[in-house]
Structure 1
Amino acid sequence: MATRTLHNDPGETWFITFTCYNWIPLFEITKSYKMLYDWLRFIAENYKVQTHAFVLMPNHVHLIIKMPDTEVGINKIISNGKRFMAYELVKKLTASGKIDLLNQLSAACTEKEKNKGQKHKVFELSFDAKPIYSTAFLYQKIDYIHHNPVSGKWLLCDDFIKYPHSSAAFYHSAKPHEFLTIIDYRDFWTDINHVRPVRLL
């Protein structure tokens, strides 16, 4: 049985991943990328969570975020966000008549979850959270995030910088994102020589 990990996170930077249930591309099916941007803006405005890098994929999300120096925990931020997004995704699936898919998500709920009032399993139970303590790990994860749309089976575009739901163009082309204010990680992270990191190529 999966257990919930509590993170001690005030002021720390995290690599976060959460995934739709069974890797079903629910964000793409429901065209819900705007909903994800709305959530990222909400946690920035209400909890002072800074987004350094991101990619919104058809069925999962990768983020590098910096938590504020407060007691608001990352578990609360992510779990509340997933709960809100699950409700919105189910509403969109219902409105578009995706009955078979709704039945699949409903059947995935355990009896315990149903007894608590959950009707659909929209996301995988937990989320992945890795603290970032070194520039090497930071660079690795940013590179991974930005190349995700053109890696493996995805091939969502021919140039990772052109993928619209990513921070790649912000860092590689100095292009502000249309829907989200990205907080430049280079203003916070420096290499061992104490100079600003160069853009990843």
Structure 2
Amino acid sequence: MSRKYKIQDQDKLYFVTFTIVEWIDLFTRKAYRDILIDSLKYCQNNKGLDLCAFCIMSSHIHLIMGRNGEQTIEAIIRDFKKFTAIEILKSIQGSPEESRKEFLLHHFRQAGARNPNNSTFQIWQQHNHPIELNSNDKISRCLNYIHQNPVVAGIVFSAEDYVYSSASNYAGLPEKLIEVLLIE
């Protein structure tokens, strides 16, 4: 693996993306998006996550993140992905309304079978490609990219109108799902 995609400095901010295996559109359901939001809040309150920006799209989530505690950024990412995978899987399996249940379980089971680090199911792709945000230009570009994702995808006209994003935080709007540390 290239040094470009490793966390070198625990005191820096990083742009990371977590993607569902096969880019499956999992987060079309509010219940699964809410699992991510609840877990991000938990990590902020209990794991030392400094969350500066986020955007949940249908098959992936973008974050600008750092840490403020003892846990490494890698540990926070590992715990977040493990917990959300377990909770999402339980939600899929227990949902009588999930019309894609068999499709999702089949693909997650296949992905798990191909991965020697997994025993059964795999929901998240393994890589995160962390990019160290070591300049104001990189921070600005990544922040813009994250918030413009739903606009470019044609979901909303204005970034701050997308509920599952920190764009409303940066626009100073009172409606927001989660508090973030604004990057100045």
- Normalising by structure 1, we get a TM-score of 0.80
CA distance in structure 2 between the partners assigned to 1:111 and 1:144 by the alignment: 32
Alignment partner, residue 127 of structure 1: 128
Equivalent of residue 102 in structure 2, options 96, 99, 103: 99
Q: What is the letter of the counterpart of residue 18 of structure 1?
A: F
- How many residue pairs get aligned? The number is 179
| Bigger Rg, structure 1 or 2 | 1
Q: Deviations over 1:120-167 (max 9, x none)?
A: 12111211201111101100001100100021xx21123222000111
- Decide whether the 8 Å contact of 1:14 with 1:130 is kept in 2: yes
Q: 1:177 to 1:48 in 2, by over 3 A?
A: farther
Larger deviation: 138-147 or 22-31? 22-31
Q: What is the letter of the counterpart of residue 86 of structure 2?
A: Y
CA distance in structure 2 between the partners assigned to 1:56 and 1:9 by the alignment: 26
- Decide whether the 8 Å contact of 1:30 with 1:89 is kept in 2: no
CA distance in structure 2 between the partners assigned to 1:27 and 1:75 by the alignment: 23
**Gap runs ≥5 in structure 2:** none
CA distance in structure 1 between the partners assigned to 2:112 and 2:67 by the alignment: 31
Q: What is the letter of the counterpart of residue 36 of structure 2?
A: L
CA distance in structure 1 between the partners assigned to 2:80 and 2:22 by the alignment: 19
Q: 1:30 to 1:179 in 2, by over 3 A?
A: closer
- Decide whether the 8 Å contact of 1:30 with 1:92 is kept in 2: no
- Decide whether the 8 Å contact of 1:10 with 1:72 is kept in 2: no
Q: 1:105 to 1:163 in 2, by over 3 A?
A: same
Q: What is the letter of the counterpart of residue 177 of structure 2?
A: F
Q: What is the letter of the counterpart of residue 135 of structure 2?
A: S
Q: Deviations over 1:153-193 (max 9, x none)?
A: x2112322200011112212x1145321111111xxxxxxx
CA distance in structure 1 between the partners assigned to 2:23 and 2:114 by the alignment: 22
Aligned positions of 1:1-201 closer than 5 A:
7-29=7-29, 31-68=31-68, 70-96=69-95, 98-110=101-113, 113=116, 118-151=119-152, 154-172=153-171, 174-186=172-184
Alignment partner, residue 189 of structure 1: none
**Gap runs ≥5 in structure 1:** 187-201
CA distance in structure 2 between the partners assigned to 1:82 and 1:101 by the alignment: 17
- Decide whether the 8 Å contact of 2:164 with 2:177 is kept in 1: no
- Normalising by structure 2, we get a TM-score of 0.86
Q: What is the letter of the counterpart of residue 180 of structure 1?
A: I
SS of the residue aligned with 1:51?
strand
CA distance in structure 1 between the partners assigned to 2:20 and 2:118 by the alignment: 19
Q: What is the letter of the counterpart of residue 164 of structure 1?
A: V
Q: 1:15 to 1:6 in 2, by over 3 A?
A: closer
Give RMSD over aligned pairs. Answer: 2.2
Task: Report the identity percentage.
Answer: 27
- Decide whether the 8 Å contact of 2:48 with 2:71 is kept in 1: no
